[in-house]
Structure 1
Amino acid sequence: MRQLEAFTLGKKFGHPETNEDSLVVMPNMGYAVIDGVTDRNGTRYGGMLSGQYASRTVQRAIEVFLLAQGQRDKPELQFQGAQHFVDYLGAAIHAGYVEHGALAAVEADWKLRGGCTVMAAMLIGDRLEVVAVGDSGIRINGHDTLQVLKPLDDVTAILRREAWHYFAALGHSIQECDKFSSAMTWQGTQNQLSGAVTANPEIVATIETRALTACRAHLPAVPEHELLLLIQHGIAHGQGKFQNITEPVLGYGGIDGFAVPNRYVESRSYALADIETIELFSDGYFKPGTGFGVASWEAAFDEVEAEDIHKIGRYMSTKGTTASQLTDDRSYLGVRLK
């Protein structure tokens, strides 16, 4: 290894301890970026919100796994393919539920589960083995990029965009547009707090119609009932019904302590001799850096913020940057081998 650069920053201003991203940095052994799923209801394990707990648990599990490579007395921890590795990470979170006496509760209610994405790059013998679940990414040698973005996020991002523009047209302030569109996106149109502006039946009907029309145009192959489930029930009440389920068109994978179908496990294998640079990143970067290193990726981040700070334009998202926080946690890890 000739060079290593790493950077991670939580989205909440003044509260770096809430960062749900984690990094694994073990030179000449392996590297990973892990992105904890934002907690839905305040559930904590080990003093951490569920997404951060899942992220830190998987971080530790990967470190243990990498240290075990080549040890004959630990055959169960030797690399045996992508699915085996992902199952191992899920088992670590599952063991955490057991340790905290929460297994029955998380089996009954997906909203209580911790979850995360992972992008791992492991040096196994003369190979670089890449394993991914979710939307964290990797770029090899500056051009070969793997990042699986889920269309499901486009539905809730469109809902937020349509709500934001609707309230802006009514003359609401930017702060109110952020607040109201966030409430729609997070809770869904049918779960708004009674008496709130966003609970007005006429407003709900209008935003539902606008969001559904835009989603049909953007994702014509997705059944309407899947679009409506997300629009009406949002991230907090609807999204989990698609995780690690293969039947829906909008299904997606996440490591949450339960089985991850092979359909959602991505893997690549490279000859290590062909690798010059490895760059891993979380989805807090909406645009890649033009070159290797933190400075390049931070410049790309600044460009996105300057163009679309609210994330309702080219970089539409389920969240935007506000006075209290950035759009998302973000992490970058770059390794130059040659």
Structure 2
Amino acid sequence: MQQLEAFTLGKKFSAPHANEDSLVIMPNRGYAVIDGVTDRNGTRYNGMLSGQFASRIVQGAIEKFILAQGDASQPDLQYAGGMHFIDYLGRAIHAGYVANDALDAVTADWKLRGGCTVMAAMIIGDRLEVVALGDSGLRINGNDVLQVLKPLDDVTAIMRRETWRYFEALDRDTETCDRLAAAITWLGTRHQAAGSETADAGVLAELESRSLAACRAHLPAVPAAEIEALVHGGICHAQGDFQNVTGPVLGYGGLDGFAVPERYVETRSYPLAEVETIELFSDGYFKLGEGFGVAAWEQAFREVEAEDLHKIGRYMSTKGTTDIALTDDRTYLGVRLK
């Protein structure tokens, strides 16, 4: 008899319905965790911010795909490897743009696209087939972990940390440190609002210098031009130039309705008879649970919050927990097969 435990919670205290994570739970068939990319500019489709829109479309597409397995009348939906699956999900998002009369706009401007990561574990015959794109994670039998974190996030997280520390040293309060650090991280040093504190030429020069030095020390193999582009443009103006392209060292993959290079698609295949537990999780968990189940993973979450609430230490991130929101949406799904 299976044991199944699942938990998901949106980051915004006042808007739990805005959770951009999604779950697929189809016992004895397949499971998935989908993490919608935080919207950059308020773009909405079907009344949802773009990341939630992509997440929900992919959720429905995975459910349809899993239900079709073994059905000879739906040959195009039979599992044929990781790229086949990811291409199918991308087409679903693409169709969503078409349905919202947004295809021309999103083709011309990546900032308007919805995006998400996916971690799927599907039972195909006598095997468990895993397909992953992005930084959601998987743990099989409590020890075999798959999670592809992208070094690009380290650059923007370092920008945030360095900005936070700069203003903290000036005795600015926590709320101010967080607000100013977010401005630098999201907009970059070359796109600050005129007249804002972070637009001061002297402040920007210091923050750029600190961020570039820290990033180069942390990522010595990354070309200086890539780091500079991210520091100057931030998440809103530069990060999208690195998605689904293979040239940059900091390139990464994500579902956004357009082509995904094969190098970013991870697959695993396990004999189902050897699988005891399947655990899937979004990157809102910065630390793995010590054991199976929601309680263990929530304990790990509490430990991270107690140690590094603002995510400028061991668990540095592009966002931190504030009075109005947690660092990120978080989702866990555990399935014990035996």
Is TM (by shorter chain) over 0.5? yes
Deviations 1:81-130 (A, max 9, x none): 00000000000000001111111110000000000000000000000000
- 1:252 is aligned to 252
What SS class does the counterpart of residue 204 from structure 2 fall into?
A: helix
Tell me if 1:160 matches 2:165: no
- 1:121 is aligned to 121
- 1:33 is aligned to 33
What one-letter code is carried by the residue in structure 1 that aligns with 2:63?
E
What SS class does the counterpart of residue 249 from structure 1 fall into?
A: coil
Write the distance in 2 (CA, Å) between the matches of 1:192 and 1:168.
20
Write the distance in 1 (CA, Å) between the matches of 2:30 and 2:90.
19
CA RMSD in angstroms comes to 0.5
Write the distance in 1 (CA, Å) between the matches of 2:259 and 2:28.
30
Question: CA offset at residue 261 of structure 1?
Answer: 0.3
- 2:81 is aligned to 81
Tell me if 1:268 matches 2:291: no
Deviations 1:47-85 (A, max 9, x none): 101000000000000000000000000000000000000
- 2:225 is aligned to 225
What SS class does the counterpart of residue 232 from structure 2 fall into?
A: helix
Write the distance in 2 (CA, Å) between the matches of 1:201 and 1:17.
40
Write the distance in 2 (CA, Å) between the matches of 1:100 and 1:259.
20
Question: CA offset at residue 248 of structure 1?
Answer: 0.2
What one-letter code is carried by the residue in structure 1 that aligns with 2:264?
Y
What SS class does the counterpart of residue 210 from structure 1 fall into?
A: helix
- 2:92 is aligned to 92
Write the distance in 2 (CA, Å) between the matches of 1:81 and 1:242.
25
% identical aligned pairs = 72
What one-letter code is carried by the residue in structure 1 that aligns with 2:140?
I
- 2:186 is aligned to 186
Write the distance in 2 (CA, Å) between the matches of 1:18 and 1:187.
23
Write the distance in 2 (CA, Å) between the matches of 1:322 and 1:190.
26
- 1:240 is aligned to 240
What SS class does the counterpart of residue 190 from structure 2 fall into?
A: helix
What SS class does the counterpart of residue 190 from structure 1 fall into?
A: coil
What one-letter code is carried by the residue in structure 2 that aligns with 1:63?
E
Aligned length: 338
Tell me if 1:211 matches 2:211: yes
- 1:42 is aligned to 42
- 1:201 is aligned to 201
Write the distance in 2 (CA, Å) between the matches of 1:316 and 1:16.
24
The 5 Å alignment of 1:13-24 reads 13-24=13-24
Write the distance in 2 (CA, Å) between the matches of 1:269 and 1:102.
37
Deviations 1:280-314 (A, max 9, x none): 00000000000000000000000000000000000
Deviations 1:181-215 (A, max 9, x none): 00100111111111000110111010000000000
What one-letter code is carried by the residue in structure 2 that aligns with 1:205?
A
- 1:136 is aligned to 136
Question: CA offset at residue 171 of structure 1?
Answer: 1.2
What one-letter code is carried by the residue in structure 1 that aligns with 2:116?
C
- 2:147 is aligned to 147
Question: CA offset at residue 2 of structure 1?
Answer: 1.7
- 1:9 is aligned to 9
Task: Provide structure 2 residue ranges, at least 5 long, that are not aligned to the other structure.
Answer: none
Write the distance in 1 (CA, Å) between the matches of 2:267 and 2:310.
33
- 1:314 is aligned to 314
- 2:65 is aligned to 65
Write the distance in 1 (CA, Å) between the matches of 2:155 and 2:14.
31
What one-letter code is carried by the residue in structure 2 that aligns with 1:103?
L
What one-letter code is carried by the residue in structure 1 that aligns with 2:228?
L
Question: CA offset at residue 14 of structure 1?
Answer: 2.2
The 5 Å alignment of 1:99-118 reads 99-118=99-118
What SS class does the counterpart of residue 321 from structure 2 fall into?
A: coil
TM superposition score normalised by structure 1 = 1.00
Write the distance in 2 (CA, Å) between the matches of 1:14 and 1:292.
30
Task: Provide structure 1 residue ranges, at least 5 long, that are not aligned to the other structure.
Answer: none
